[in-house]
Structure 1
Amino acid sequence: MTTDQKNLIKATVPVLKENGVLLTDYFYKRMFKGNPELKNVFNMANQQNSKQQTALAMAILAYAENIENPAILMPAIDGISQKHISLDIRPEHYIIVGKHLLASISEVLGEAATPEILDAWEVAYNQLASIMSGHESTLYSKQVQKKGGWSGWKPFIINEKIVESAEITSFHLYPADQGSVADFIPGQYISIRLFIPELNLLQPRQYSISSAPNGEYYRISVKKEGLTRLNPDGMISNRLHDFLNAGDIVEVSAPAGNFTLNPKGDHPVVFISGGVGQTPLISMLENLIQSGSNRPKTWIHGCRDEKVHAFKDVIDNWADGQQDFHRHTFYDRIDNKHDFGNTYEGWVDLNKFDNKILPENADYYICGPSPFIAKHYKDLVERGIKKQAIHFEEFGPQTLQL
């Protein structure tokens, strides 16, 4: 890009801050009208709650703000690319997106979208598309080079369906071809793709792998949503609960994601989860225990009550058998008012713990609803925990900026 073009991109930053979501909302409507086949690729429920539009607007703004040095955004680009390879996004999709995005800029901005601005954004978009598709090509290559690895979609059989709590059920997925299961890093996710008759569409969703690597199957643990309306969580999750059973086949993409356990070092590790956000953390913790790691481990989990508390017995057994493992549980309400040991009534409150439970030299992993992540990230930073030691994953489109 020329210096003049970069300056034109930076000049659009105020417009993007004020009208970014308006632009991306228009863009998605335009793209799905012109290329309705992409409705089978994108999470259509996230179009209803504006999460996808917001996430894209934030990404475009960040790119414009850092157009002088887009390499600064590589951690964020990697996170987006990980999602893309789990959805089988390919270079040809970038061509379609670029066409509609540039047309949307022209149509939304009107006379303000001068030929010079449109030319600058065309160069900028092609630069970003090249960076992302190149990175994704590398990720695809790494996937297929693994034993049992693949790219795109592959049929898996539900071998077991196990109720873990009043809301969460686990599904054990085995390759339909009876071949090897590609390894993964604890904390990663897979995508499940199902046909949704109500929409007459294929729809994908990401689910964290909720067990340590075992070489035989992937386990996902899915929360059933009580809402009956079409929503991002319930469309696929409830279908898994209500209509799919052992012996049924689902399409699965290879493990992806960069919210992963750092196995290096001997410093403590602290897991903080809310609700079904415990699933990637269970995989990390199980991996540490199975490997015989002597790193001090702390598990802090919050949910509504004991009935919806999945994996409680598993965590209790691990805590009983590990001197270097301690768990603390928060329930919104405790029905039986007797001594629950390390169980507390109310929402997760890190201020209850001293530096022995939350040491400064620990790695912290947080997963749960966005407000849950934001609160505990802020609380940890205020305690003096270094930001680079705090790792988190937001389910769905990435909208948190911490």
Structure 2
Amino acid sequence: MMLTEQQKVLVKATVPILRESGVALTDYFYKRMLNNNPELKETFNMGHQRSGAQASALAGAVLAYAENIDDPMVLAPVVELICNKHVSLNIQAPDYNIVGENLLYSISEVLSIPMDAPLIDAWKAAYFQLADLFIATEKKLYEEQAAKVGSWVGWRNFVVDKKVRESNEVTSYYFVPEDGKAIPLFKPGQYVTVRVYVSELGIKQPRQYSLSNMPGEDFLRISVKREDPHQEGQNPGYVSSTLHNIINEKDVVELTAPIGNFVLVNPSNVNVLISAGVGLTPMVSMLKSLSNQSSKAVHFIHTSRGSTAHALRDEVKGIASSNDTVKLHINYRNISSTDVQGEDYHTHGHLNLNDLSADWLPADADYYLCGPIAFMQEKRKELVEFGISNDRIHSEAFSTGGVPA
């Protein structure tokens, strides 16, 4: 369906409404769609529905699309990010018809616009233009998965081979395929989607987790933070709570194949890995791979609330101690009487990259950020202030939506 110039004008005319009421519209849309199609509750993260994160992310995406309707390819990086996430959830082409129908009816019902109005026709053309782009992009990703040795399309059963406590809030899960067949070589930084039955909801739920092990091993490992409902006013995560409290060794979970575009751009260059909290998980995968294959320096900069919250600490220290190309800088926001400076941590308090010496932040290095959104926004700003080009800075969001620059 081709958008006419008049339809583009109509879509752009909705921008002010989307800025003001976009979240209300998308919240209504999700409730409408999941009520009419309850089977999709096993595809969408109900924790994000509960928190409103999903509605906010979709509202931002719809607004960005309307603002750039004359040249949607401006949004290509966002489209690539979303398509990777869709494939990780096994979203298929027919699902776009369900989403499109409910979105159009939501626009009509929330804005009190008849379904036969020109504006609805305009948004129908706009939506299916975008859907065609998504479907074509995802088709290529599915084909790549199907062709890759050891990979698969859709859900595959894995057994929890090991469950290892890494800190007072992070536990690692080692998965091996139930069918005993091969697993694929993934790219350091990629993630899998784990789906488990959540008794509280009475349905299965998916959640994406970065892989924290190195490609080429005979298992897939994720390291999961327990979401504390009393911490920062957050609700407990349905999947993380189930993994921590219910799932044990020998249990079976469902996984989709590794995917994601937060990967090393140039392994042969100097790479600086900057993380906070559980954001270190893809960085550990990158670090292990780089320490095995690159002769260039790797700078690993990590901040944690303290030693008891610092996951995979001994593993990272072991890599650094056995490889003189790896430089390690650990920051604790809070230190205890047993923490030894220079051994357990290097600085404490708030991590500011501008406080590091210039040799930590080379102008020609590639930079990778992972952690809470505010952390990544702040570190990107500090790097730019330090003189690092924006195109050398790569970010990963392990929550709904992307990372605003």
TM-score, normalised relative to structure 2: 0.95
Distance 1:158 1:112, change over 3 A: same
Q: Distance in 1 between matches of 2:235 and 2:373?
A: 14
Identity between Structure 1 and Structure 2 (%): 43
Q: Distance in 2 between matches of 1:63 and 1:202?
A: 31
Letter in 1 for 2:348: E
Q: Distance in 2 between matches of 1:198 and 1:243?
A: 12
Name 1:100's counterpart in structure 2: 102
- 2:227 touches 2:235 (CA, 8 Å); kept in 1? no
Letter in 2 for 1:163: R
- 1:182 touches 1:215 (CA, 8 Å); kept in 2? no
SS in 2 for 1:366: strand
- 2:369 touches 2:394 (CA, 8 Å); kept in 1? yes
SS in 1 for 2:59: helix
1:396 aligned onto 2:396 = no
SS in 1 for 2:112: helix
Distance 1:339 1:221, change over 3 A: closer
Shift of 1:223: 1.1
- Listed one character per residue, the Cα deviations across residues 342-381 of structure 1 (whole Å, up to 9, x for unaligned) are 5111122212112211111111101001111111111111
Q: Distance in 1 between matches of 2:132 and 2:113?
A: 29
- 49, 53, 67: which one aligns with 2:69: 67
Shift of 1:321: 2.1
Name 1:21's counterpart in structure 2: 23
1:127 aligned onto 2:129 = yes
SS in 2 for 1:356: helix
Shift of 1:337: 7.6
Name 1:253's counterpart in structure 2: 256
- 2:228 touches 2:236 (CA, 8 Å); kept in 1? no
- Listed one character per residue, the Cα deviations across residues 64-104 of structure 1 (whole Å, up to 9, x for unaligned) are 11111111211110100110011110111100000000011
Name 2:369's counterpart in structure 1: 366
- 54, 57, 81: which one aligns with 1:55: 57
Q: Distance in 2 between matches of 1:371 and 1:294?
A: 33
- 1:42 touches 1:204 (CA, 8 Å); kept in 2? yes
Q: Distance in 2 between matches of 1:286 and 1:373?
A: 22
- 2:47 touches 2:237 (CA, 8 Å); kept in 1? no
- Listed one character per residue, the Cα deviations across residues 15-70 of structure 1 (whole Å, up to 9, x for unaligned) are 11111111101111111111111111100110121111111011111111111111
Letter in 1 for 2:156: K
Distance 1:386 1:114, change over 3 A: farther
Letter in 1 for 2:380: Y
Q: Distance in 2 between matches of 1:44 and 1:168?
A: 22
- Structure 1 stretches of 5 or more lacking a match? none
Shift of 1:112: 8.8
1:317 aligned onto 2:318 = yes
Q: Distance in 2 between matches of 1:252 and 1:275?
A: 24
Structure 1 stretches of 4+ with a deviation exceeding 6 A read: 228-232
- 1:271 touches 1:300 (CA, 8 Å); kept in 2? yes
Letter in 2 for 1:366: L
Paired residues, what number? 400
- 199, 212, 215: which one aligns with 1:213: 215
Shift of 1:263: 3.3
- 1:102 touches 1:121 (CA, 8 Å); kept in 2? yes
Q: Distance in 2 between matches of 1:85 and 1:321?
A: 38
Shift of 1:328: 0.8
Q: Distance in 2 between matches of 1:19 and 1:382?
A: 35
Q: Distance in 2 between matches of 1:343 and 1:264?
A: 26
Letter in 2 for 1:317: G
Map 1:162-177 onto structure 2 (within 5 A): 162-177=164-179
Name 2:241's counterpart in structure 1: 238
Name 1:287's counterpart in structure 2: 289
CA RMSD of aligned residues (A): 1.8
Distance 1:350 1:310, change over 3 A: same
Name 2:352's counterpart in structure 1: 349
Name 1:157's counterpart in structure 2: 159
Distance 1:393 1:213, change over 3 A: same
Shift of 1:400: 3.3
SS in 2 for 1:391: strand
- 2:395 touches 2:403 (CA, 8 Å); kept in 1? no
Q: Distance in 2 between matches of 1:262 and 1:157?
A: 32
Name 1:3's counterpart in structure 2: 5
Name 1:386's counterpart in structure 2: 389
Letter in 2 for 1:204: P
Letter in 1 for 2:300: W
